[in-house]
């Protein structure tokens, strides 16, 4: 079945330094939709950004990601981490052409930004 | 702004007891979902629904039932609760979208402890 892999479970960053969270996926379908959701402490997950287009950069709230179908990757990046970026980040996969909108989530990366 | 509410927010149940978690959405979304969140596993889909009267099994449906009596309401039922079902449960809603790009809107979560 479909799967999403986030290799880092816990990441500690220093404020002002760049952020990169890894996400790779597996699916037999050629047109997946990839998402990043963010969950701050004691809150519920919310959409950060999403992409369908191969090799096109998507940006939102200072974060960006590019879907690379050749490597089945959708890494999340930010040029300069802020304390408020401390949160749990989920990469997720959806398949186009279906009514359900089901998401397959990775295990999540817990990010802590320190000063 | 999307509005998904859950009740109760916290629940302590005994092993073998019946537990019902309720979810209400005012977004008029067709699709609704139940997830559980556990450290090391991320968000896992239990059941989902395409609309009133429909329920579908997700990735981990064993031990759970679901009910969708109306567009707005979606319940998760644990007929015989077990300690392994101790978790945080999230309900979400989303539009029906053939493109697969539909954002999911999450409720605040229910923390369930089964003793």
- 3-class secondary structure for chain B? CCCEEEECCEEEECCCCCEEEEEEECCCCCEEEEEEEECCCEEEEEEEECCCCCCEECCCCCCCEEECCCCCEEEEEECCCCHHHCEEEEEEEECCCCCCCCCEEECCCEEEEEC
pLDDT of residue A95: 76
pLDDT over 70 percentage in chain B: 94
Chain B residues whose CB is inside 8 A of the A106 CB are 42
CATH assignment at residue B16:
2.60.40.10
pLDDT of residue A79: 97
Task: Provide the token pair at A41.
Answer: 């402490």
pLDDT tens-digit profile of B86-96? 999 999 999 87
**What is the distance between the alpha carbons of residues A42 and B109, in angstroms, rounded to a whole number?**
9
Residue B79 makes CB contacts below 8 A (sequence gap 6+) with B18, B65
Question: Is the confidence at residue B114, as pLDDT, over 60?
Answer: yes
Chain A residues whose CB is inside 8 A of the B97 CB are 101
DSSP secondary structure string for all residues of B42-68: EEEEEEEESSTT--EE-SS-TT-EEE-
Residue of B4, B38, B40, B16 whose CA lies nearest to B111: B38
pLDDT tens-digit profile of A41-88? 999 999 999 998 999 999 999 999 999 999 999 999 999 999 999 999
Chain A residues whose CB is inside 8 A of the B107 CB are 44
Chain B CB within 8 Å of residue A47 CB: yes
Domain assignments of chain A as residue spans, ordered by start: 3-114
pLDDT of residue B99: 59
Chain centroid to CA A12: how far? Answer: 17
Closest CA–CA distance from residue A48 to any residue of chain B (Å): 10
CB-based burial, B92-109: b 16+ in 10 Å, e otherwise: bbbeebeebbbbbbbbeb
pLDDT band at A31 (very low <50, low <70, confident <90, very high): confident
**What is the distance between the alpha carbons of residues A53 and B73, in angstroms, rounded to a whole number?**
34
Residue A47 makes CB contacts below 8 A (sequence gap 6+) with A35, A36, A37, B103, B104
Q: Which domain holds residue B49?
A: 4-95+104-114
Mean pLDDT of all residues belonging to chain B = 93
Give the total number of structural domains in chain B: 1
- CATH number corresponding to A3-114: 2.60.40.10
pLDDT of residue B39: 86
Q: What is the mean pLDDT of residues B92-111?
A: 84
pLDDT of residue B98: 59
Chain centroid to CA A110: how far? Answer: 12
Chain B CB within 8 Å of residue A103 CB: yes
């Amino acid at each position: 079945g479909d799967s999403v892999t986030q290799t880092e479970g816990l990441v500690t960053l220093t404020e002002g330094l760049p952020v990169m969270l890894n996400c790779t996926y597996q699916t037999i379908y050629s047109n997946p939709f990839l998402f990043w959701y963010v969950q701050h402490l004691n809150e519920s997950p919310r959409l950060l950004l999403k992409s369908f287009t191969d090799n096109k950069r998507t940006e939102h709230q200072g974060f960006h990601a590019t879907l690379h179908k050749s490597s089945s990757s959708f890494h999340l990046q930010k040029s300069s981490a802020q304390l408020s970026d401390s949160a749990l980040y989920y990469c997720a996969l959806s398949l186009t052409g279906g009514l359900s909108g089901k998401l397959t989530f990775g295990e999540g990366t817990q990010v802590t930004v320190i000063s | 702004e999307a509005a998904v509410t859950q009740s109760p927010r916290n629940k302590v149940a005994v092993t073998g007891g019946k537990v019902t978690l309720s979810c209400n959405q005012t977004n008029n979304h067709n699709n609704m979902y139940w997830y559980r969140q556990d450290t090391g596993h991320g968000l896992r889909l239990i059941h989902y629904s395409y609309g009133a009267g429909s329920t579908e099994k997700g990735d981990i449906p064993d031990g759970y039932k679901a009910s969708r009596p109306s567009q707005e309401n979606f319940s998760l039922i644990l007929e015989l609760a077990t300690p392994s079902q101790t978790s945080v449960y999230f309900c979400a809603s989303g539009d029906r979208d053939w493109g697969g790009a539909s954002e999911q809107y999450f409720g605040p979560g229910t923390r369930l402890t089964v003793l």
